[in-house]
Amino acid sequence: MQIEINKEYTFEDDQFLWRYMDLHRLIYFLNTENIFFSPLSTFFDPFEGITEKHLQDKQYVDAIDEEAEKEEGLPQKSKEELVEKKDEIKQKFKSRLEEIQKTFFASCWYLGVRESLAMWDTYSNKDSVALKFNPKGLCKNIIGSCKKLNAEDFDIMIH
């Protein structure tokens, strides 16, 4: 399996990685000793997994919209071509983002010195727990485990 670093990171000695989960996920974690990864399509944010390229494409579509609004003197055919091009780009943008969200999986953690009330409110319910890990140790263990996986399990792991 290929392992990539998304960006260089460092941890302060007083920082911890926190994971907020319900009891079902905790039982899964304890029984299997595996971290649960969810497809990006199940996240609340409809733009989860969006890349810099997607943002550039979105800017391009927005620019076409602005040009179409400004160019009232354009012949009807030019306006229709502009609208067609805009719709085609929007559809490609949407399709690619949907593909990424179905095929990319993530496990999200909170890095902080202490628990976060905002994270409790967002990611927990009355049956939830917060797990606290040393970030250096956890990352080392996860990367080590991923290196042992077969290529058919995953194509790439990005951390």
State if pTM tops 0.95: no
pLDDT digits 0-9 by tens, 77-113: 676 777 787 778 778 878 888 888 888 888 888 999 9
Nearest CA-CA partner of 116 in 9, 49, 17: 17
| Predicted local distance difference test score (pLDDT) of residue 17 | 94
Q: Which pair of structure tokens corresponds to residue 34?
A: 């595996």
Residues making up the chain, counted from first to last: 159
Rounded to 10°, the helix 76-103/52-70 angle is 160
